[in-house]
Amino acid sequence: MNMKKSWNLRFVLGLLLSLFLEVAAFPQVGLTTGDKIQAQQRSDAGNGFDYGNKSGSALQQLENMTGRQISTSNSNGQQNYQSVSSVHKVSAISANAALQNSIKMQLASGIASAFFSLIFSDNSQNDQKTIEAQRENAALLAQRAEAEKHYSDSISQAKYEKMMQSYKLLNDPKGVQFKALSATSTQFKSLDDPGAPLTMEDKERQNIKKHGINITWDYTSWNGISPGNNSIEEAPLSREDNESDKFLNAAIDKIETFEGGRVAALTGRFMINIKNETMSYLKDASEAATSGNISKMEETGQIDLRKLTSNAIFKTGQQTVNSYIEQGKDFISGELQENNFAAMKSGAQAVLQNFNIFAHVSDDWKVPLKQY
Amino acid sequence: MRKAITYFLSVFYLLFTQSTIAQQKNTLRYEIMLNSNMLEPSLKNDRFISCIDISPNKYITLSTSHKIYILGWGGITQFGKEADSTISSYAFASDGLLMAVKDRELCFMNEKGNLVTLVKLPNASMGIAEGKDVMYLFDQKRNDKGYKLYAFAKGGKYKQILVSPKPVISVIEMTDSLYLAIGSGVFSLSPKDYKLNLVAGFQKESEIKSMTNDPVNNILYVATRDAIYAIKNGSLVYVTSDFGGGIIKYFSNGLIIFNPETYDIIRIVNIDKSIIF
């Protein structure tokens, strides 16, 4: 009974320790395993933590576990690495998970074994030699883990590269291609699917068009097409300029004096700020805009830095699009000679019918005195 | 227990997926719709005109001098029949009708794909732009009488809105004002009092090529030959010059940039969320 309790206690302690050490050890030493090691581990697992091992050193236990003769001389990392790598062979990416699980077990059981040997062995056996052997044991495991990490990293890198091959990068000239275009049917798509339900924005747009603020004309003063003459007649030439005409003439004359060299937006912005003022301001504005006096211009045309940021966003996208266009030209000239945009033969009538654009149009626009 | 774990994992997966998709939806991204080598050589015989629009079925609409095309993901095809004279511009009306200026005529495309004359215009090669209730027609070709902007309404009503000393390049309705690009300046016109304001002035060399607007966020985009700018509440932000300027069109939450010379069409999606005013 006591023996059973002792086994249970050891098992629980071993499990907890394994879990703890696993978390602590993985980031430092990685994982390791190997077919031979697994086989040995499986055979050792049947023995459990055999008390018989107490009579041997930890080094012997390790040798039993790994099936290898371990040199107690000052071994270098390269030799150990080679010995491990000769055991370890990773043949496929899918084996990675199995390998990791296996090494978890190995690492945990190896360290736990050494730990329990230390706890349950006689004090007489807890000598310098044992400590040294355990240190070597840990070093060997760490080296194996390092080797395993190397393989694990290689697998991860291979996975990453494979994944990246499935992406098309914006700056990769071979990554983006234009879709081939059909010239053999009228089944090309409109900008937006006409059959799709309206988005909130579309609804708002239509609502504004129907009910929003709009120009309203007073038709009472308008001319009508005279009987027998379906022409729009010009107004008499003798008409004197009204205030709007005078303003238009003066403003256009003034704008005509704007010479190049200034930023157009700045000029425009400057002009906007005086739009409701009298013509005398127009002179000052034009002089400021053409003088190159930035501080004078900034008095009315403050540049908002946020706009520069906004424009930078555009700039980035535009460069990409320009690149696409160039790529498309090259690509299409080489690949799509027989399958590009084309005007269809006899397509005109088919489109009228297929798209039903001109079903029946109101006669409202027609001139009343002449039938077509 | 197993069911509970499965349920929990499913919910977690769905939440994670949804969050990822939502993040992608709001991310600035670029869509390349077209470049020159995607086009057959036969399509390059005629140059595309400097005009772009989006059809009611959400296809990019392009045009050469005689043929209109629609472009989607995966193809481009001719749209309607070949015109018998030169198309200078086109735009879809708010009710989906394709209107085109063909030589000196304002036309619409009927259900057979023909461009049918609606009215005769004062000048040839006029530009056209969509309004909520009207279509805007404006002079782009030099003449001695100034460059005029007209509004054409249903039922044959029209009005001359203003006369400009320089060609009108682009017209955009946004909120309660009309925005005009003339030379290198952007002006706003209020139909209530016909008051004209200068919104932005660029250098003489930076003549405006096109404008478009984001109606939800009230952002006006302006393209010069070399760069694109955004204007909101009187604040102007430089957006990009990497694709040049050219012809721009806002659609959904993306800005389409079209260079007719190089056939490049790029869409910057979620641009509105990326600009800080």
**How many CB atoms sit inside 10 A of residue A195's CB?**
6
For residue B180, what pLDDT band results from cuts at 50, 70 and 90?
very high
Domains and CATH numbers, chain B: 32-269 (2.120.10.30)
Backbone angles phi, psi at A164, to 5 degrees: -65, -25
pLDDT of residue B88: 96
Task: Give A285 to chain B, closest Cα distance, Å.
Answer: 10
User: pTM for this one?
Assistant: 0.60
Mean pLDDT of B186-196: 84
Task: Give B150 to chain A, closest Cα distance, Å.
Answer: 9
pLDDT of residue A349: 55
Mean pLDDT of B176-198: 86
Mean pLDDT of B165-169: 91
Strand partners, B151: B136, B159
B195 pLDDT above the threshold of 50? yes
Kindly give the parts of chain A with pLDDT less than 70. Answer: 1-126, 163-190, 192-202, 209-212, 236-240, 254-362, 368-372
B235 in contact with A, Cβ within 8 Å: yes
Check A348 against B77: CB less than 8 A apart.
Answer: yes
Share of chain B above pLDDT 90, in %: 37
Residue B222 CA to residue B249 CA, distance in Å, equals 10
B10 in contact with A, Cβ within 8 Å: no
Check B93 against A365: CB less than 8 A apart.
Answer: yes
B181 pLDDT above the threshold of 90? yes
B221 pLDDT above the threshold of 60? yes
For residue B156, what pLDDT band results from cuts at 50, 70 and 90?
confident
Residue A37 CA to residue A87 CA, distance in Å, equals 8
Highest mean pLDDT of the ranges A108-117, A234-243, B69-78, B253-262: B253-262
**Mean pLDDT lowest for which of A115-119, B167-171, B240-244?**
A115-119
**Mean pLDDT lowest for which of A203-212, B155-164, B235-244?**
A203-212
**Mean pLDDT lowest for which of A134-143, B9-18, B67-76, B185-194?**
B9-18
Please write the tens of the pLDDT for every residue from B86-125: 999 999 998 888 999 999 999 998 888 889 898 999 999 9
Check A191 against B267: CB less than 8 A apart.
Answer: yes
| The token pair that represents B221 in the structure block | 């985009």
Highest mean pLDDT of the ranges A212-226, B167-181, B196-210: B167-181
Residue A157 CA to residue A180 CA, distance in Å, equals 34
B156 in contact with A, Cβ within 8 Å: yes
pLDDT of residue B115: 92
Categorise residue A13: left if φ over 0, alpha if ψ from -120 to 50, beta otherwise: alpha
- Considering only the beta carbons, identify the residue of B40, B187, B251 that sits closest to A191: B251
Planar angle of CA A49, A52, A55, nearest 5 degrees = 120
A&B contacts, CB < 8 Å: 374
Share of chain B above pLDDT 70, in %: 90
pLDDT of residue A67: 55
**How many CB atoms sit inside 10 A of residue A73's CB?**
6
For residue B51, what pLDDT band results from cuts at 50, 70 and 90?
very high
**Mean pLDDT lowest for which of B29-43, B206-220, B263-277?**
B29-43
A182 in contact with B, Cβ within 8 Å: yes
Mean pLDDT of B69-94: 88
Strands in B247-251's sheet, in edge-to-edge order, are B29-34, B264-269, B254-259, B247-251
Query: CA–CA distance from B117 to each of A181, B68, B137 (Å)?
Result: 36, 16, 15
- The residues spanned by each domain of chain A are 2-165
Between B244 and B130, residue with greater pLDDT: B130
Task: Give B89 to chain A, closest Cα distance, Å.
Answer: 17
For residue B178, what pLDDT band results from cuts at 50, 70 and 90?
very high
A322 in contact with B, Cβ within 8 Å: yes
A363 in contact with B, Cβ within 8 Å: no
